[in-house]
Amino acid sequence: MRIREGEIVKKIYRWFCRAEETACGVGFVFLIAFVFLSAILRLFKFSLSWSIDMAMLLLAWTAFLGADVAWRSGQIAGVDILTRRLPARLQRVVELVVDVIILAVLVIMVVFGIRLAWTERVATYQSMRIPYSLVTMSLVVAASSMIFSTIQKIRRIVLVLNGRGSAGGPAGSSGNNEDR
């Protein structure tokens, strides 16, 4: 029994999506726990300065990774007031143009994010020996993941435009998770 290369890539992608969603959930739980713990301990005049710094670090990671989860599943709000009355094919073309622009912006974010992380590698939090670049890398990792998600959306739109994909719903939104 021969496994196709595309099936392996899909399995890896599904695993990555689940790992990203799990990381967001676990990170958010710890974020809430650190903030809550810090607030409770302050009532007893005990300060955990590192807990707020850790919460900010987790906030950056969960927010940016969560943005990719939302982007991939079509949960980010869009304004379609200008395009909803257009013919379906023209809607897909506009969606394709917008996604290509988003892809370009994400590539720029990754390039400049890496440069910023490199310059911040020596600066650390006052309460922890963790470099600021770890926070900046959350943007780089999430933008890189969003690049892959955007490429998937562009691929689906192109397939729909070429008549080889399903035209049910917006081509870029995979809320039904057919690729995951």
Tell me: the pLDDT tens digits for 116-143? 999 988 888 877 888 888 889 999 999 9
Tell me: the pLDDT tens digits for 141-173? 999 999 999 999 999 999 999 988 776 544 444
Does residue 174 have a pLDDT over 60?
no
Mean pLDDT in the chain?
85
What local confidence, expressed as pLDDT, does residue 2 receive? 56
Cβ atoms within 10 Å, residue 108: 11
The answer to whether the CB of 82 falls within 8 A of the CB of 27 is no
Ramachandran category for residue 146: left, alpha or beta (phi over 0 → left; psi -120 to 50 → alpha): alpha
CA proximity to 103, closest of 19, 172, 16 = 172
What local confidence, expressed as pLDDT, does residue 22 receive? 95
Sequence-distant (6+) residues with CB within 8 A of 170 are 74, 91, 95
Tell me: the pLDDT tens digits for 27-45? 999 999 989 988 898 888 8
What local confidence, expressed as pLDDT, does residue 178 receive? 41
What local confidence, expressed as pLDDT, does residue 167 receive? 60
Does residue 16 have a pLDDT over 80?
yes
In degrees, to the nearest 5, what angle opens at C-alpha 14 toward C-alphas 13 and 20? 90
Tell me: the pLDDT tens digits for 89-115? 999 999 999 999 999 999 999 999 999
Query: What secondary structure letter does DSSP report for 162?
Result: T
pLDDT tier, 82 (very low <50, low <70, confident <90, very high otherwise): confident
Select the more confidently predicted residue: 46 or 174: 46
What local confidence, expressed as pLDDT, does residue 3 receive? 62
